[in-house]
C-alpha cells in the first residue's frame, strides 16, 4: 500500500482537492485522505509530491501509431528503395493533374511512405508513437489498425487500450469474406487479450465500405454490444462522392488496388445515408465530420453517436476542421480529442492540444481536463475503471510539478507531466519511460 501526497488533485468529478493524499493498493485507489493522515503509513510508503497537481491519466481517442515515423525514416535497402520508386511512379500516373493539396493525394503520399517500410521499421514506428504518447501522460488509447503485429505490442503495453480493427470492402462478395475473416480474428483476440485490452471495429469511411459490410458489422456490433468507429465525411472528396457518385476518392481506391465503389444512393445528407442502414447509434464513434453541413450536425448528434475531434489531422490532411465552439455546441460532453498528426515535429500532448483548442477559454481548467479523462472514458465504456480519481478506480494518474507561486490553474502551461502512473505502477518519471515494449 502506498500513499501519494499532493497540493492539488483534479478528480474529474467536479471536486478540486487541496492537501490530500491518494492511497493505492494493488493498482486501485482505496482511499483519499488529508495529508496529515499520511503519517500513519510507514515513511518508505509515502511519496510527497509537494506543490504538484495530480490529474487522472489522459485518453487519446484515435491513434494510428504505425504512421509515427512517416517522413522521418527513409526506406533502407535495394528492395525497399525499388518499392518506393515503383510506388511513386504509380502515384504520379494515378494522380496526374491532381493538386498536391488534394485529400486523396495526401493519403496516397502517406500510404506510399508507409508501404515501403519493412516490418521492423513499421514496428519501431509504432513503438515510437506509443512511448511518446505515454510520456505525454496518456494512459489509455483507441488505436486503429488492420495489422495483427500491432495488437501483439499493444496487448503487452502497461496502459489501457482499445484496438479498433480496420476493414474496407469494395463489393458485396468481399464484404461477406471480410466480415467472416474479421469476425473470426476478433473472437480469437477477445479470448487471448490481456485485461488492459478491449476490442472494437473500425469501418474505414462511407466511401471505403460497401453497403453490405455496413449492414453486416452494424448488426454484429449491436448483437455483441461492441463499439464501432468510422471516419465521417472528413474530406470534400467524400461529400462529392456521396452527391455525384464519383470523386477523387476513386483515384485513391485505384491506387490502393480497390475496385470503384459507388454509393448505394446519392444524397447530400451523409447522416441519412448511414441512418438508413441502421448504423448510427450511441455505440458508434465518428471522427472529424469536417464537411458535414452544420444543419446536419445536430441531426448527427441526435442519433446518439460519440465524436472524435482531430484538429491537427483535419487541418493537415483534410484541409478543414470543425471550429471548437461548433464541436462544443453539438457534441457537448460526448467527445474526446485525438493528437494524430503527420508533421515531422509533432508531439502527443493531449493537454497541449486541448489548451490550443480552448484559446477563447470556453472551458475552465477543471472542465477541460474532463475532456481528456472522464468524458472519453465514458465513450469507451471504461468509466468504471478510469477517467476519475475516486475510490475503487484504477490508479491511473499524472503528476505535474508547479512552481512555488502557482496553483492548479497553471496546469494549462505544463503540457508534459513529471510522472505518470498506470494501475499504480510508475511508467514515466522525469520524461523517461520505465518499461519496455
Q: What is the CA radius of gyration of the chain?
A: 22
- What does pLDDT average to over the chain? 95
Evaluate if residue 360 carries a pLDDT over 80: yes
- Which residue, chain included where needed, has cell 521492423? 120
411 with 55: CB under 8 angstroms?
A: yes
Q: What is the CATH number of domain 59-379?
A: 3.20.20.140
User: How many CB atoms neighbour CB 177 within 10 A?
Assistant: 13
- How remote is the C-alpha of 363 from its chain's centroid? 21
**What residues pair up with 425 in beta bridges, in sequence order?**
422
Give the model's confidence band at 133: pLDDT under 50 very low, under 70 low, under 90 confident, else very high: very high
pLDDT of residue 323: 97
Q: Give the mean pLDDT of 288-297.
A: 94
The domain spans of the chain are 2-57+384-433, 59-379
The Cα–Cα gap between 334 and 307 comes to 6
Evaluate if residue 325 carries a pLDDT over 80: yes
pLDDT of residue 189: 92
Model's pTM, two decimal places? 0.96
Q: What are phi and psi of 197, to 5 degrees?
A: -105, 140
Grid cell locating 106: 495526401
Highest mean pLDDT pick, 41-45, 294-298, 421-425: 421-425
pLDDT of residue 79: 64
Evaluate if residue 87 carries a pLDDT over 90: no
pLDDT of residue 77: 66
Give the model's confidence band at 93: pLDDT under 50 very low, under 70 low, under 90 confident, else very high: confident
Domains 2-57+384-433 and 59-379 share a fold: no
Contacts 24+ apart (CB under 8 A), 281-285: 281/222, 281/305, 282/306, 283/221, 283/222, 283/225, 283/226, 283/227, 283/228, 284/227, 284/228, 284/229, 284/230, 285/61, 285/142, 285/227, 285/228, 285/229, 285/230, 285/379
Evaluate if residue 78 carries a pLDDT over 90: no
Evaluate if residue 365 carries a pLDDT over 90: yes
Strand 16-25 relative to strand 28-34: parallel, antiparallel, unpaired?
antiparallel
Q: Give the mean pLDDT of 182-202.
A: 94
- How remote is the C-alpha of 358 from its chain's centroid? 19
Q: Which of 72-81, 145-154, 234-243, 326-335 has the lowest mean pLDDT?
A: 72-81
- Please write the tens of the pLDDT for every residue from 23-60: 999 999 999 999 999 999 999 999 999 999 999 999 99
pLDDT above 90 covers a percentage of the chain that reads: 90
CATH of 2-57+384-433, picked from 3.20.20.70, 3.40.50.1370, 3.40.50.10490, 2.30.40.10, is: 2.30.40.10
Give the model's confidence band at 118: pLDDT under 50 very low, under 70 low, under 90 confident, else very high: confident
Evaluate if residue 75 carries a pLDDT over 90: no
E strand or H helix at 197: strand 197-203
Among 144, 71, 106, CA closest to 255: 106
Burial degree of 80 (CB within 10 A; 0-12, 13-18, 19+): middle
The Cα–Cα gap between 288 and 234 comes to 5
Q: Give the mean pLDDT of 344-353.
A: 96
- Please write the tens of the pLDDT for every residue from 262-285: 999 999 999 999 999 999 999 999
Evaluate if residue 307 carries a pLDDT over 70: yes
Buried b (16+ CB within 10 A) or exposed e, 146-167: beeebbebbeebbbbbbbbbbb
Among 176, 168, 252, 156, CA closest to 205: 168
Sign of the torsion formed by the C-alpha atoms of 329, 331, 336 and 340: negative
pLDDT of residue 76: 66
Strand 419-422 relative to strand 58-63: parallel, antiparallel, unpaired?
unpaired
pLDDT of residue 88: 75
- Please write the tens of the pLDDT for every residue from 334-343: 999 999 999 9
Evaluate if residue 120 carries a pLDDT over 80: yes
Grid cell locating 126: 509504432
Amino acid at each position: 500500500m502506498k500513499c501519494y501526497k499532493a497540493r492539488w488533485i483534479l478528480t474529474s468529478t467536479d471536486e478540486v482537492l487541496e492537501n490530500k493524499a491518494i492511497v493505492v493498493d494493488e493498482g486501485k485507489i482505496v482511499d483519499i485522505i488529508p495529508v496529515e493522515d499520511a503519517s500513519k503509513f510507514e515513511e518508505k510508503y509515502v511519496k510527497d509530491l509537494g506543490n504538484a497537481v495530480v490529474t487522472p491519466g489522459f485518453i487519446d481517442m484515435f491513434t494510428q501509431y504505425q504512421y509515427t515515423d512517416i517522413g522521418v525514416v527513409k526506406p533502407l535497402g535495394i528492395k525497399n528503395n525499388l518499392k518506393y520508386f515503383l510506388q511513386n511512379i504509380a502515384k504520379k500516373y494515378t494522380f496526374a493533374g491532381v493538386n498536391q493539396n488534394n485529400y486523396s493525394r495526401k493519403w496516397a503520399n502517406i500510404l506510399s511512405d508507409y508501404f515501403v517500410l519493412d516490418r521492423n521499421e513499421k514496428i519501431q514506428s509504432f513503438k515510437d508513437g506509443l512511448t511518446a504518447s505515454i510520456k505525454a501522460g496518456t494512459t489509455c488509447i483507441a488505436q486503429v489498425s488492420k495489422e495483427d503485429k500491432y495488437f501483439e505490442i499493444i496487448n503487452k503495453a502497461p496502459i489501457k487500450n482499445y484496438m479498433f480493427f480496420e476493414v474496407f470492402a469494395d463489393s458485396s462478395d468481399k464484404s461477406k469474406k471480410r466480415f467472416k475473416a474479421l469476425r473470426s480474428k476478433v473472437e480469437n483476440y477477445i479470448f487471448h487479450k490481456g485485461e488492459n485490452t478491449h476490442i472494437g471495429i473500425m469501418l474505414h469511411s462511407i466511401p471505403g465500405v460497401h453497403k453490405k459490410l455496413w449492414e453486416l458489422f452494424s448488426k454484429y456490433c449491436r448483437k455483441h454490444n461492441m463499439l464501432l468507429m468510422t471516419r465521417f465525411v472528413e474530406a470534400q472528396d467524400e461529400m462529392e462522392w456521396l452527391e455525384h457518385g464519383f470523386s477523387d476518392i476513386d483515384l485513391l481506391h485505384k491506387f490502393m488496388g480497390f475496385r470503384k465503389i459507388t454509393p448505394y444512393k446519392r444524397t447530400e445528407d451523409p447522416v441519412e445515408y448511414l441512418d438508413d442502414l441502421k448504423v448510427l447509434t450511441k455505440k458508434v464513434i465518428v471522427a472529424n465530420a469536417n464537411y458535414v453541413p452544420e444543419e446536419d450536425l445536430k441531426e448527427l448528434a441526435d442519433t446518439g453517436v460519440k465524436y472524435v475531434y482531430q484538429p491537427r489531422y483535419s487541418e493537415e490532411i483534410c484541409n478543414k476542421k470543425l471550429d471548437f465552439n461548433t464541436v462544443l455546441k453539438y457534441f457537448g460532453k460526448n467527445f474526446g480529442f485525438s493528437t494524430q498528426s503527420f508533421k515531422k515535429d509533432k508531439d502527443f500532448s493531449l493537454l497541449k492540444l486541448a489548451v490550443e483548442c480552448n484559446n477563447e477559454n470556453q472551458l475552465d481548467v477543471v472542465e477541460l481536463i474532463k475532456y481528456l479523462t472522464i468524458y472519453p472514458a465514458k465513450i469507451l465504456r471504461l468509466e468504471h475503471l478510469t477517467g476519475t480519481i475516486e475510490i475503487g478506480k484504477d490508479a491511473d494518474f499524472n503528476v505535474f510539478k508547479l512552481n512555488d507561486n502557482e496553483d492548479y490553474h497553471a496546469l494549462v502551461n505544463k503540457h508534459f507531466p513529471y510522472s505518470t502512473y498506470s494501475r499504480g505502477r510508475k511508467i514515466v518519471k522525469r520524461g523517461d519511460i520505465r518499461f519496455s515494449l
